[in-house]
Structure 1
Amino acid sequence: MSKICVLGLGYIGLPTASILATHGHQVVGVDVNQA
């Protein structure tokens, strides 16, 4: 499918990235704070 970059992995970004990945998209998450 598509390659998607999610900017910000907070309350909205992380679940969004997870759902997109489970639907077959290649997802990269970027955040300003290191975990």
Structure 2
Amino acid sequence: MSQHENLLKKIEDKTYTIGIVGLGYVGLPLMWTFHQNNMPVLGFDIDAKKLNQDFKDY
């Protein structure tokens, strides 16, 4: 299986972890959308206030 096919399979199986850099007005809703669709997702931001918030605040 090629790398391309392997990547597509992981995306289809929802086993590929998505990384979002920046949890502002674009990154946070994008992260939430992936999470709501059962995709593993990691969010990165340098603003400690954003990192300590709960999704329930939105």
Provide TM-score, normalisation by structure 2.
0.57
Where is the strand percentage greater, Structure 1 or Structure 2?
Answer: 1
Structure ranking higher on relative contact order (CA contacts 8 Å, 6+ apart)? 1
Uncovered stretches (5+) of structure 1, i.e. residues with no partner? none
Answer with 1 or 2: which has the greater Rg.
2
Structure 2: where are the runs of 5+ without partners? 1-13, 50-58
Aligned residues: 35
Runs of 4 or more off by more than 2 Å in structure 1? Answer: none
Task: Please state which structure has a larger fraction of its residues in helix.
Answer: 2
% identical equivalent positions: 31
